[in-house]
Structure 1
């Protein structure tokens, strides 16, 4: 079923949501935040050897206030510039979309945040895929406190395997080979396995693919027409876009644009644009895609972040104000910065010439965000 057909079937529910996220009238000039030059910030970012290319845009009240593209589509200055409106992988920003669908199913009475994994997906017990599944709740999976080990590690999957399709349950099975290190609900421990399982729960309850539920509940109502979750192998990014690179064990960089789509799914598979991602995060921040009550229920069990080592914990915000939602994997990093009131979003996609785990990346991207969101006076 194509996107137009899905839109026609969505009916009144989608129309109501669309009305709720229409951009308000432009604020008076005195109320507009002072912003820096996006193109200049990205040009500085792309001068670093860790960055192959970068695109980004900043939005105020739903209107684009600046955009830019720097670096090149391919390594070593090749391929020309990335189109500013190009699609890119959003990585784990997908998880927030999965949370939206789960909470809508909770509101509809199809499940509870206290429901046990073993009751919702009996197959994980029957095939011994998840240890202690009868104790793990939906809420714990959402907040990464289930203790289910992460299958997405270099020890369990190959970043350069572009040709093998792994069904979600097969990836869940890989996590079973890793010893648990905590009790269910004890503490935060990031694991993509949680979101593979949440995706399977969505499909079991709705009898639709995760992609279809994203379209029906998020992409179509918000007019995110350039956004999709690949469903047909091998997937991939449509249209001209930046390629990311990842080093092998000898440090040689390889093009990983063909990133294995089965590694994404409900944990990190969505492909989008700066415009669409800005619309999504603005709608979420303004309680237009989840109600305030739904968000309160979603966040009630969220654990407090553990402070980093050192005497003075680092402020996780940018410019002391803007929150960050981040996604990344081999070859790319995708970041969305949001003001607390939802008025301002800065969406940035960087394709990499280094491992995405390289600690040098975060301060470089943060510097670019600060140049846009809180320029020096």
Structure 2
């Protein structure tokens, strides 16, 4: 198996005593960007019949300068307000955390971005779980160019199954029933299967769970004390929080608070807060969680993601950027919820918002409403 081939990474594998990104002394008022009222923006957002509740907060140089909560915890104006400090599912924002761990393993010489899936996880060949595994690289899985089909579809899993635990390899196996539509490395094609496999690679190389690696390399160093990746079924959200809803085939809304933990893992399972998620994205933007060299290696050859209307993607796209491209969100979402973190180009400002819904999360009317709220906060009109 090849080892780290990224120039300049070998000397970077030092112990992470702390990665806490301390906020500097209070930023002078004149130096702060002009921001809108978070509570007002979220209250407008929650007027939508498709939104049950929303919480959010905006941060400048690591300090919270505004927050809000609108709507209610439960459907039909029940349950009271969601605490602004409540935990929520971050969905595919988890993928960026998985990328961080993978890059640290590259730096430590435990794998290379051009290592083949078949070498790292021989079981996928032995059990014929992934077609052309001997051609697919780690880099292709990170960038969703592997061509491995996505298991997270209504055709392959039951969204309404809250009680059955599916090991990651079982979900990978389901993707094998779908015909490949591209060559390895040919183009971007979003697939959660990539990140189930990356999670298994992390566990095989470290002898730790993905949850433990997240804690050791990200959550503990950044003091993300309210963040966790569930490891015990059913793995719900701790503390009072908003409930998301999703319609069945007849349009009846069902409470999806018990979202099946199996469907998360290294692809989308982390639960966090606005404070913690802001700390993570600020550290990432300022090269505190990955070095500049590691990020350059990670992003080398990253393709522009194609529109993916069926589910939220982890990454930035032109139509989702706000304020003339000054802010681009990292987004996660699934049945019942959407969570976005907007970060300024210079890394100084983060706006974190969690939305719980009373509609299909793919409803095309929802994203523009959230974008409008973000622009009201990050680039308010004079």
Normalised-by-shorter TM-score class: over 0.9
- The answer to whether the Cα contact below 8 Å between 1:282 and 1:345 also exists between their aligned partners in 2 is yes
1:17 matched to 2:19? The reply is yes
- How many residues matched? 360
CA RMSD of aligned residues (A): 1.3
**CA shift digits 1:269-314 (9 cap, x unpaired):** 0000000000000000000000000000000020134489xxxx95
Residue in structure 1 matched with residue 156 of structure 2 by the alignment? 156
Relative to structure 1, the CA distance from residue 277 to residue 131 in structure 2 (aligned partners, 3 Å threshold; closer, same or farther) is same
Output aligned runs, 1:273-312, within 5 Å: 273-306=273-306
From 307, 314, 321, the counterpart of 1:317? 321
> 4+ residue runs of structure 1 moved beyond 3 angstroms?
305-308, 313-316
Residue in structure 1 matched with residue 354 of structure 2 by the alignment? 349
Output aligned runs, 1:29-178, within 5 Å: 29-178=29-178
**Structure 1 portions without partners, runs of 5+:** 1-11
Relative to structure 1, the CA distance from residue 314 to residue 201 in structure 2 (aligned partners, 3 Å threshold; closer, same or farther) is closer
Output aligned runs, 1:326-337, within 5 Å: 326-337=331-342
Moved more, 24-33 or 46-55: 24-33
Relative to structure 1, the CA distance from residue 135 to residue 209 in structure 2 (aligned partners, 3 Å threshold; closer, same or farther) is same
Residue in structure 2 matched with residue 366 of structure 1 by the alignment? 371
- The answer to whether the Cα contact below 8 Å between 2:322 and 2:374 also exists between their aligned partners in 1 is yes
Q: Secondary structure at the match of 1:199?
A: helix
From 316, 338, 343, the counterpart of 1:338? 343
User: Deviation at 1:30?
Assistant: 1.2
Residue in structure 1 matched with residue 262 of structure 2 by the alignment? 262
- The answer to whether the Cα contact below 8 Å between 1:14 and 1:220 also exists between their aligned partners in 2 is no
Q: Secondary structure at the match of 1:13?
A: coil
User: Deviation at 1:369?
Assistant: 0.3
Q: Secondary structure at the match of 1:345?
A: strand
| Whole-angstrom distance in 2 between the partners of 1:209 and 1:89 | 19
**Structure 2 portions without partners, runs of 5+:** 1-13, 309-316
